Amino acid sequence: MRNTTIAMAVAAAVALPAILQEARAETPVERGSYLVNTIMTCANCHSPKGPPAAVAGKDFSGGLTFDEPPFKVTASNITPDKETGIGAWSDADIKKLLLTGVRPNGVRVAEVMPTSFYPILTPGDLNAIVAYLRTLKPVRNKVPDPIYKIALPHHIVPGAEKAFTQADLKDKLKRGRYLATIGHCLECHTPFVNGAHDFKNSLGKGGREFPGPWGVSKSRNITSSKTAGLGSWTDAEIKTAITHGKDKDGKPLKGPMGYQYYAKMTDADLDAVIAFVRTLPAID
Ligand code: HEC
Ligand code: HEC
The tens digit of pLDDT for each residue in 169-189 reads: 999 999 999 999 999 999 999
pLDDT of 18 reads 52
Nearest CA to ligand 2 atom 22: 241
**Residues 208 and 243 occupy one common structural domain:** yes
How many Cβ atoms are within 10 Å of 204's Cβ, its own excluded? 26
pLDDT tops 50 at residue 153: yes
**Residues 220 and 251 occupy one common structural domain:** yes
Number of domains in the chain: 2
Residue 124 included in any domain = yes
pLDDT of 213 reads 83
Å from CA of 113 to ligand 1 middle: 5
Q: Which residue has the higher pLDDT, 151 or 124?
A: 124
Q: Which residues, including other chains, have CB under 8 Å from residue 265's CB and lie 6 or more apart? A: 38, 39, 243, 273
Phi-psi region of 215 (alpha: psi -120 to 50; beta: other; left: phi over 0): left
**Residues 31 and 142 occupy one common structural domain:** yes
pLDDT of 22 reads 52
Residues near ligand 2 with C-beta < 6 Å? 180, 183-185, 188-189, 210, 217-220, 222, 230, 238, 241-242, 247, 253-254, 256-257, 262, 273, 277
pLDDT of 10 reads 47
Nearest CA to ligand 1 atom 30: 78
Nearest CA to ligand 1 atom 26: 76
Q: For residues 10 and 26, is the Cβ–Cβ distance under 8 A?
A: no
Atom of ligand 1 nearest to the CA of 182: 38
Spatial distance between the Cα atoms of 208 and 2, rounded to a whole number of angstroms: 59
Half-sphere exposure of 284 (CA within 13 A, CB side): 2
Residues near ligand 1 with C-beta < 6 Å? 36, 40-42, 44-46, 66, 73, 75-76, 78, 86, 94, 97, 103, 109-110, 112-114, 129, 133, 146
Give the end of a domain, one of 125, 159, 193.
159
| Confidence band of 53 (pLDDT split at 50, 70, 90) | low
| Confidence band of 151 (pLDDT split at 50, 70, 90) | confident
Instruction: Decide: pTM greater than 0.85.
Output: yes
Å from CA of 197 to ligand 2 middle: 16
Nearest CA to ligand 2 atom 34: 185
Residue 21 included in any domain = no
**Residues 186 and 106 occupy one common structural domain:** no
Give the relative orientation of helices 267-277 and 172-182 as an angle to the nearest 10 degrees: 90
| Confidence band of 56 (pLDDT split at 50, 70, 90) | confident
Q: Max CA-CA distance within the chain? A: 77
| Confidence band of 90 (pLDDT split at 50, 70, 90) | very high
| Confidence band of 29 (pLDDT split at 50, 70, 90) | very high
Residue 10 included in any domain = no
- Mean pLDDT of the residues in the chain: 91
| Confidence band of 144 (pLDDT split at 50, 70, 90) | very high
pLDDT tops 80 at residue 35: yes
